[in-house]
Amino acid sequence: MVGIDFGKPLFTSEEIQRKIHELGSRISQDYAEKDLLVVGVLKGALFFMSDLLRSLKISVRMDFIHCTSSKGTQPVRIIADMSEDIRGKDVLLVEDIMDSGVTIAHVKKMLLARNPASLKVCVLLDKAERRKVQIEADYAGFRIPTKYVVGYGLDYKDRYRNLPYIAVLPMDEKMR
């Protein structure tokens, strides 16, 4: 990206695509006999969702929820709810990263109250050591250390989502 040195990617776009194909194969097998509804959490899941869907070998439908993630004491806020009625449906929630787990736990609770047949969670990145609530993803791409990462949908102040790879945010960018 012009003017910013992100250094060596944490995950290159090739590594990301390889991982997505692994996840896609598992999901295709697990839902082979089901009618899956994939629900992406915007904005972070945008690119992951689009590549994951294209790696699936099964017929699926898609929907989106737009929410702000929890930050400190700031609660999760739903900006736009999904349009589909999920009662009795097999739902897979797709998110960019699970950190404290608060955001996914909140969305999961909200969706479970609507009585889906099943509800699973798929994340590309997992900062497992940072968990504040007891929740695990059913499908997780890469486990990463406690570092702030950007790219491939992940942002810092809503920027750098369009990097085609994932990189650790340079310290001097945090200072700006």
Active site residues: 99
Of residues 140 and 154, the one with the C-beta less far from ligand IMP = 154
Asked if residue 82 binds ligand IMP (CB under 6 A), the reply is no
Nearest distance in Å: CB 26, Mg ion: 25
Is 44 one of the binding residues for Mg ion (CB under 5 A)?
A: yes
40 counts as binding Mg ion under rule CB under 5 A? no
Residue with tokens 């909140």: 106
Maximum separation of any 2 CA atoms in the chain, in Å: 50
Residue 30: both structure tokens together: 């697990």
The residue from 28, 100, 138, 170 that contacts ligand IMP (CB under 6 A) is: 100
User: In whole angstroms, what is the distance from residue 162 CA to residue 153 CA?
Assistant: 6
Among 27, 36, 102, 167, binds ligand IMP (CB under 6 A): 102
**Residue 94 sits in the site that holds ligand IMP (CB under 6 A):** no
Q: Are 109 and 75 in contact (CB under 8 A)?
A: no
3-state class (DSSP) for residue 159: strand
Residues 6+ apart with CB under 8 A from 42: 64, 65, 66, 67, 80
Q: Which is nearer to ligand IMP, 51 or 99 (CB)?
A: 99
CA-nearest of 52, 41, 53, 54 to 99 is 41
Query: Which chain residues interact with ligand IMP by CB under 6 A?
Result: 44, 69-70, 95-104, 148-150, 154-155
Q: Which residues bind Mg ion (CB under 5 A)?
A: 44, 69
